[in-house]
Amino acid sequence: MDRPTKRLLQGNGACVEGAIYAGMRFYAGYPITPSTEIAELCARQLPRIGGRFIQMEDEIASMAAIVGASVSGLKTMTATSGPGYSLMQENIGYAYMTETPCVIVNVQRGGPSTGLPTKVSQSDTMQARWGTHGDYNAIAVAPSSVGDTVPETIRAFNLAERFRTPVTLLLDEVIGHMREMVTLPQPGEYEVFNRVKPTARPEDFVPFELTPNLVSPMPAYREGYRYNVTGLTHDPMGFATNRADEIAVKLDKLTNKIDNFKEEIFKSRAEMMDDAEVAFVSYGSVSRATLQAASLARQAGFKVGSIQLYTIWPFDYDTIRKLCSRCRCVIVAELNMGQIVHEVEKALPENVEIQPMLRYDGEIITPEQLLARLEEVI
Partner 1 sequence: MATVEKQKSDVMLNYLRPRKKFPSVWCPGCGNGIVMGAFIRAVDKLGYSKDDIAMVSGIGCTSRMPVYMDFNSLHTTHGRALAFATGVKFAQPDMKVVVITGDGDALAIGGNHFIHACRRNIDITTILINNYIYGMTGGQGSPTTPGGSYSTTTPYGNVEKHFEPCHLAIGAGASFVGRATVYHYPQLEKMIMQALEHKGFSLVEVISNCHTYFGRLNRQGDATAMLRFFKERSVTTARAKNMTAEELENKYVIGNLHEDNEKTEFCDEYQKVVDAHKA
Partner 2 sequence: MAGKIIGKVGIPQDRFEIRLSGSGGQGMIFASVVLCEAIGRAGGKNVVQSQSYGPEARGGASKADIVVSTAEIYYPKAMKLDLLLAMTQEALDKYYPDLKDGGMLIVDSGLVTEVPTEKYYGVPFTRLAREEAGHIMVANVIALGAICALTDIVPLDILTDAVLARAPKGTEDRNKKALEIGYNEALKQKK
Residues binding a second copy (CB under 8 A): 60, 82-83, 85-87, 89-90, 93-94, 96-98, 108, 110-119, 121, 123-124, 126-127, 129-136, 230-233, 242, 244-245, 247-248, 251, 254-255, 336-337, 342, 345-346, 349-350, 360-363
Phi and psi torsions of 69, nearest 5° = -70, -35
Closest CA to 68 of 97, 101, 45, 37: 101
Among 20, 71, 128, 297, binds partner 1 (CB under 8 A): 71
Minimal distance, residue 31 CB to ligand TPP, in Å = 4
28 near 69, Cβ under 8 Å?
Answer: yes
> If we measure between CA atoms, which residue out of 177, 155, 175, 144 comes closest to residue 281?
144
By the rule CB under 8 A, 112 interacts with partner 1: no
Q: Does 286 bind ligand TPP (CB under 6 A)?
A: no
Q: Does 30 bind partner 1 (CB under 8 A)?
A: yes
Using CB under 6 A as the binding criterion, the count of chain residues that bind ligand TPP stands at 8
Q: How far is the CB of 69 from partner 1 (least distance, A)?
A: 4
**What's the CA gap between 35 and 12, in Å, rounded?**
7
69 binds partner 1 (CB under 8 A): yes
- How far is the C-alpha of 218 from the C-alpha of 44, rounded, in Å? 30
Interface ranges with partner 2 (CB under 8 A): 6, 8, 33-34, 36, 117-118, 174, 177-181, 240, 285, 288-289, 291-292, 296-297, 299-302, 364, 366-368, 371-372, 374-375, 378
| Partner from partner 1, a second copy, partner 2, none contacting 374, C-beta within 5 to 8 A by type | partner 2
Report strand pairing: 179-183 vs 166-172.
unpaired
Q: Crossing angle, helix 59-72 and helix 82-98, to 10 degrees?
A: 30
Candidates 5, 6, 8, 114; binder of partner 1 (CB under 8 A) is 114
Sheet holding 278-283, edge to edge: 268-271, 304-309, 278-283, 329-334, 353-358
Per CB under 6 A, the segment of 83-91, 164-172, 217-225, 307-315 that binds ligand TPP is 83-91
Coil vs helix vs strand at 260: coil
- Residues 6 or more apart in contact with residue 151 via CB below 8 angstroms: 18, 143, 185, 190
**Minimal distance, residue 334 CB to partner 2, in Å:** 16
Q: Where on the chain is the footprint of ligand TPP (CB under 6 A)?
A: 30-32, 59, 83-84, 87, 114
